[in-house]
Amino acid sequence: MTAEAAERLRIEIRPGEAVSGLLLQPPQARACYVFAHGAGAGMTHKSMETVATGLAERGIATLRYQFPYMEKGGKRPDPPAVAHATVRAAVAEAGRRFPSLPLVAGGRSFGGRMTSQAQALSPLPGVRGLVFLGFPLHPAGKPSSERARHLTDVTIPMLFLQGTRDALAEMSLLEPVVKSLGSRATLHLLDGADHSFHVLKSSGRNDREVMDEALDAFAAWVDGTIG
């Protein structure tokens, strides 16, 4: 399926405030991924479109959406409470659209972290698992595991798709974090990829191959864990 096949919609967060969304539904979808963008680029970014179309090819519907600051053209991410409310509104919209499909939520970087925070505070209705497309464990150059503390309150399965060159998640910190979460957490490492899943030419493969690996792992996890 092409990105042009996505249905544009409005997602109401609260009376008088709504954000844009893009719904892509392949024939006979077996799950829906509700996913948010990273801090610096919105839902129409090429990487977001690649994930949506790639998952559609693998039989997984997607609902991607904007956070309010991105909808308004701002650069500073919304406060957590606003981001969490947006996540909940998007999940609720997906539930209305796909009442019979299992839902998976998450997103790229900031979007994934806001989703897991929302889930930790109060379970997202209908969401059976979380998938992180590069979990931002810490700011670049400031290694810490503080941002992962809330994950102990997430009781549904989680999949971390993570590049081994990710400057926002040192492997020496991320691997123990995932291990501490026990059987509900799975870490799939993308060898040589950075936070945006880019690889160096010297790696012997290209970004498309890395994304295919990530999405194949995503689909297999849905079938083995959620399905």
Return the pLDDT at 202: 86
Closest CA to 87 of 62, 60, 116, 108: 116
Query: In order along the chain (227 residues), what is the average pLDDT of each group of 10 residues?
Result: 79 94 95 95 93 97 97 93 98 96 97 98 97 94 92 97 95 96 97 93 90 97 91
How far CA 175 is from CA of 36, 107, 108, 145, 194, in Å, comes to 24, 19, 19, 11, 16
Which domain, by its residues, includes 121? 3-226
Handedness of CA 52, 103, 194, 76 (dihedral sign): positive
pLDDT attached to residue 201: 86
Instruction: Tell me the C-alpha distance between 26 and 36, whole Å.
Output: 19
The first and second tokens of residue 33, run together, are 């991924």
H helices present in the chain, as ranges: 46-57, 68-71, 80-97, 110-121, 171-180, 207-221
The CATH number of residue 102's host domain is 3.40.50.1820
pLDDT at 3: 55
Residue 20, classified by CB atoms within 10 Å of its CB into exposed (0-12), middle (13-18) or buried (19+), is middle
Closest C-alpha among 42, 50, 36 to residue 208: 50
Question: b or e along 202-215 (b: 16 or more beta carbons within 10 Å of the residue's beta carbon)?
Answer: eeeeeeeebbbbbb
What is the spatial order of strands in the sheet that 127-133 belongs to?
7-14, 17-24, 60-65, 31-36, 103-108, 127-133, 158-163, 185-190
From residue 207, alpha-carbon distances to 112, 131, 196, 220 in Å are 21, 19, 9, 20
DSSP type of residue 198: -
User: 112 forms bridges with which residues in the sheet?
Assistant: none
The total number of structural domains that make up the chain:
1
Torsion from C-alpha of 76, 80, 85, 90, nearest 10 degrees: 60
Q: Structure pTM?
A: 0.95
Task: Judge contact between 218 and 131, C-beta under 8 A.
Answer: yes
Other beta carbons less than 10 A from residue 12's beta carbon: 12
**Alpha-carbon span 149 to 35, nearest angstrom:** 21
